[in-house]
Amino acid sequence: MDRLVRWLKRLGLTGGLLVLAAYGVFLAYSLPSTVKVHVTGTEIARKDVEGREGKVRTQDVRFVMAEDLEGGPRMFRNQDTGWGWPPYFKFNTGDIAAQAQNLATDDRRAVVLVKYYGFRIRMLSTFPNIISMREVPPDYQPVPWTTLVVVFLHLVLIAVGLGFLRARRDMELTEG
């Protein structure tokens, strides 16, 4: 019996760590990131997307090609998020595409700060989605305020929840 209790405690710890890791990956995907790049081009690709009830519809997907300041290639998706997740309420895909096209044809090779969310997974052909882009000086260092605030609020909520659980447990121990 004692062995079973120890095994269940370990399973609970392992499960808790797996849930925590999955939540960390979810936050890393959903929260905005930034990178400084040189925009090199744009592209539009047609994709067949399966919708509700198995209906297939054709959708245009815009891409922005860039290279980071060290010369490495970067590629971003440029799609509206609409009212879905993550809640960036992005409805300016055309504006970003025009801005990217102007930057790609500009001879100055301007440094552009791209704010995006998502991951680049080559095996699945997934690309991060651009939220916004703007020209910045080459020595500009962005501060991820949104990420800092969201992580701080999550830590506060976790601390409050753990405090509530501890107080509840202590109350049950004193009553029983």
Rg (CA), the chain: 23
Domain holding 96, by residue range, is: 31-139
For residue 172, is it within any domain?
Answer: no
For residue 80, is it within any domain?
Answer: yes
For residue 61, is it within any domain?
Answer: yes
For residue 156, is it within any domain?
Answer: no
Q: How crowded is residue 116: how many other Cβ atoms within 10 Å of its Cβ? A: 22
What are the CA-CA distances from residue 56 to residues 51, 59, 83, 85 (Å)? 6, 10, 21, 22
Domain of residue 101, CATH code: 2.40.50.110
91-138, pLDDT tens digit by residue?
888 899 999 999 988 888 899 999 999 999 999 889 999 999 999 999
For residue 133, is it within any domain?
Answer: yes
CB 69 within 8 A of CB 37: yes
Q: How would residue 165 be classed by pLDDT, with cut points 50, 70 and 90?
A: confident
For residue 18, is it within any domain?
Answer: no
38-97, pLDDT tens digit by residue?
999 999 988 877 777 778 888 888 999 999 999 899 999 998 887 888 888 888 888 999
**Scanning the structure block, which residue is given the tokens 């922005």?**
64
For residue 79, is it within any domain?
Answer: yes
Q: How many domains does the chain have?
A: 1
For residue 113, is it within any domain?
Answer: yes
Q: How would residue 161 be classed by pLDDT, with cut points 50, 70 and 90?
A: confident
CA 39/CA 97 separation, integer angstroms: 11
pTM above 0.85?
no
